Amino acid sequence: MRRAFPEFAERYERIRFGVMKADIARCAYMHAHGGFYFDTDYKLLRPLGADVLSQHCVLPIEEGALGNDDFKIGNAVFGSEAGHPFWGAFIEHIFNVHAPETLEDHREIPMISGPRGLTRFYNAHGGQFAGIVFPPRDAFHPDRTWFGLGHRGGQIAVGSHLCWASWRGKSPHRAVTNYLRRKLSAVPI
């Protein structure tokens, strides 16, 4: 953050929640370096094709469809060329509109810097940015099956987000369930 967005670096350091810092950092990385980002609980099923890698900015759809009320951009995987203006504008929006360093309720994170925040920002300002591509939902976020261990993406599926949500507080039962899912998800299905 100090190199890419020095004007927000001190405020960034004061953010209380690591997951929010990670949300912002991944966008700053996209802005500064480009490439593809994948959450640690994202399972690639095949290499990315030239049709995806040649795009200026790739924002996979997690839910619904572009233009529908249930539309949601996922932030477990995305990619772009370095310097795509979408990332800088989103980071500026987070700091100028939401003051993330003052946030006290972790449940608001998804609506500010997470998938809902990213989606709301795109819905309000997306027309200002050229070259944003939304691959079909099943390419990057197919429906999961077998308690989250399999998927229904078919031949189009590039990968699947396993949705461990390890950043959220959990009951001991939920923690054990997620631990087992993490171990089982390493098994090829």
Q: Is the pLDDT of residue 146 over 60?
A: no
The band of 160, judged by pLDDT with boundaries at 50, 70 and 90, is confident
Neighbours of 10 (CB within 10 A): 11
Name residues whose C-beta falls within 8 Å of residue 22's C-beta, 6 or more positions apart in sequence: 167
Task: Compute the residue count for the chain.
Answer: 189
Instruction: Work out the angle at residue 110's Cα, subtended by the Cα atoms of residues 44 and 186, and round it to the nearest 5 degrees.
Output: 25
Of all residues in the chain, the percent with pLDDT exceeding 70 is 81
pLDDT at 173: 67
* Span 42-86, pLDDT tens digits: 989 899 999 999 999 999 999 999 999 999 999 999 999 999 999
What angle in degrees, to the nearest 10, is found between the helix axes of 85-93 and 18-33?
150
The band of 142, judged by pLDDT with boundaries at 50, 70 and 90, is confident
Residue 32 to residues 2, 29, 76, Cα–Cα distance (Å) = 11, 5, 18
pLDDT at 156: 83
Our CA dihedral for 163, 168, 173, 177, rounded to 10 degrees, sits at 20
Per-domain residue ranges of the chain: 6-185
* Span 80-131, pLDDT tens digits: 999 999 999 999 999 999 999 999 999 999 999 999 999 999 999 999 999 9
Name residues whose C-beta falls within 8 Å of residue 19's C-beta, 6 or more positions apart in sequence: 106, 109, 114, 167
Neighbours of 78 (CB within 10 A): 21
* CATH number for the domain whose boundaries are 6-185: 3.90.550
Name residue 35's amino acid: G
CA distance 19 to 107: 11
pTM recorded for the entire structure = 0.86
CA distance 26 to 76: 10
The answer to whether 74 and 61 have CB atoms below 8 angstroms apart is yes
CA distance 59 to 76: 10
Q: Is the pLDDT of residue 167 over 70?
A: no
CA distance 35 to 114: 19
Strand-pair partners of 79: 36, 58
